[in-house]
Amino acid sequence: MQWNRKYNYPSSIRAILNGKRHYDLGSEKLPSVTTILNATQSEEKKASLQAWKDRVGHKQAEFIKREASTRGSSMHDFLEKFLLGKLNLDLLGDNTRERMMADQIIENGLRNKLSEIWATECVLYYPGKYAGAADCIGIYENHETIIDFKQTNKPKKEEWIEDYYLQCAAYALAHNTVYGSNINKAVILMCSKDNMFQRFIVEGTRFKEFQNKFLEKVEQYYFQIKNQPS
């Protein structure tokens, strides 16, 4: 596994615009990928999320979300340090849940599979449309690939993670558009809080379908913005 800093990625400041997360690139402020996905959720998904909140209670739901977000941030921090060569793999006594989750992803999802790293936690943008930050980009099992790290409270079925595929499709589309790359694969590396590792892969024609679906959501998002009551 080696670094190849072949692309010059932009710096950006995350900003809140009209209550929604955007990326301030200096010349333009673009909505984040997650902002677009959240704004274009299906009615079925909204109802399912509301049913879950009603079932567990709204205060408990917020607690679960905050706890998961904190755990995910810590796990991502370990993984970023690993990719940058700054993680002490022999550190004794570091048996925090987040470190053990990161170790599962490193050993089962990255080692001997990720041969070349182009970037980690880098800002990507599609001019005039959207922006986001990718966890990792590089050569994975001989393919130009977007790699996304996810924590989860419990193992997931593939049909539950369509938004993750759409997120990666958005990043690949932005990268290919701006840099002329040929990213045609995404890998989701996931670990549950109980240390269960999962790997999901989408590539080729199926990945292209997710890219097209995300572009439809972009158009839907801007249509909603344009037609908001003043």
User: What pLDDT does 83 receive?
Assistant: 93
Q: Which domains does the chain have, with CATH numbers?
A: 2-7+40-226 (3.90.320)
Contact 130, 39 (CB under 8 A): no
Q: Rounded to whole angstroms, how far apart are CA atoms 33 and 105?
A: 24
Per residue in 158-188, pLDDT tens? 999 999 999 999 999 999 999 999 999 999 9
Q: Rounded to whole angstroms, how far apart are CA atoms 60 and 16?
A: 26
User: What pLDDT does 120 receive?
Assistant: 94
As a whole number, mean pLDDT of residues 22-34 equals 89
Model confidence, pTM: 0.89
Per residue in 44-96, pLDDT tens? 776 766 676 667 776 776 776 777 777 878 898 999 999 998 876 555 446 68
Per residue in 111-129, pLDDT tens? 999 999 999 999 999 999 9
CA-CA-CA-CA dihedral for 175, 178, 179, 183, to nearest 10? 30
Per residue in 124-151, pLDDT tens? 999 999 999 999 999 999 999 999 999 9
